[in-house]
Amino acid sequence: MIEIDGSYGEGGGQVVRTAVALSAVTGKKVKVTNIRKNRPNPGLKQQHLKALETAARICGARVSGLFPGSSELFFAPVEIKGGKYEIDIGTAGSITLLLQSLMPALPFAKEKVELTIRGGTDVAWSPTIDYLQHVTFRALEQLGYAGSVTLKKRGYYPRGGGEVSAVFEPCKLRGFHFRKEGENKKGGENRIEEKNQKGEKKQNHGKEVMGISHASNLPAHVPSRQAEAAESMLLEAGYGSRINVRACELLSTGSGITLWSGYCGGSALGERGLPAEKVGRRAAEEIISELRTEASVDVHLADQLIPYMALAGNSSYTAREITLHAATNIWVTEQFLEVKFRIKEKDGLFEVSVD
């Protein structure tokens, strides 16, 4: 049995998510103590409970410590099985974080796994569903991962009500070395002159940023203003963009915007009293800070890729920073798999590799 101190490093829910997923893959029992000890409200929360319950169902695990506020968990997997599963988090708990507890294990299922999950699709402190779809899954495809996610309904904090369907096929992961993507076909290596809203000429780097700006139960101009502010800032920085605008009426009220280009993304969520323009600019600032470097992946993807790279072997990427989340994920992964990650600093970037 492997024992994991949940207070190590970042000390949040990611420790439990990665530990349970790799426990399912390896068949090794795991005991996690001091769960989320570094958080204001330590212990397991509703979204963690649902994720762990689902993981236990999929791999027939014996599990104890599944209750709100629990600081200790025991998980003993048997076999990863395919099938159809429905999960209702019951709150606006993050659907994407729930998937993080399952996704590293699903390539090793005996047959296809189909999930229908209800909860929050665009909530604070978690990847947005659009980021998962357009950045995470795009990167995982390079490692041979066979999975997809479809958004049915968005769900915002605090009411939730979002719905997502996801399908995962058994597959064999393969190594991949992530490199910064070249300029798109439209621009090639040449700079493209475009004009901003004031008619001033701006240099376009040849990269096109895609995006979705969305809102529910709010005036239609809210997602439009988010998109316009993001487009303006991107253009000032030399990047062309195409941002879809979507307004609808759902159970929950909220707004957000997600931007992506290659293996980099940026997102922001609306808040009461926060102008839509600030929301758009926040997302633009986040992705611009990544695109301006020579890093092959953004700092959030750098964290998420760790267990998949270890399972695939012979993989690497560069990032502008090694966050505490990424360092913690490396530590947890090395407890389960006979791998060793290497981190080298070169030209202001960090190369992370594993054999």
Q: Which residues are catalytic?
A: 325
Query: In the β-sheet with 254-261, what is the strand arrangement from edge to edge?
Result: 240-248, 208-216, 254-261, 264-269
> 36 near 87, Cβ under 8 Å?
no
Q: To which residue do tokens 């941002």 refer?
A: 243
| Kind of pairing between the strands at 162-168 and 113-119 | antiparallel
> What sign does the CA torsion over 334, 115, 107, 155 have?
negative
Question: How far is the CA of 278 from the CAs of 232, 252, 261, 272, in angstroms?
Answer: 12, 21, 21, 12
- Using a 10 angstrom Cβ sphere, with 0-12 exposed, 13-18 middle and 19 or more buried, the burial of residue 334 is middle
What are the residues whose beta carbons fall under 8 Å from the beta carbon of 232, sequence distance 6 or more? 196, 197
The three-state DSSP-derived secondary structure of 137-203 is HHHHHHCCCCEEEEEEECCECCCECEEEEEEECCCCCCCCECCCCCCCCCCCCCCEEEECCCCCEEE
> 118 near 75, Cβ under 8 Å?
no
> 205 near 256, Cβ under 8 Å?
no
> 38 near 11, Cβ under 8 Å?
yes
Query: What are residue 289's phi and psi, to 5 degrees?
Result: -60, -25
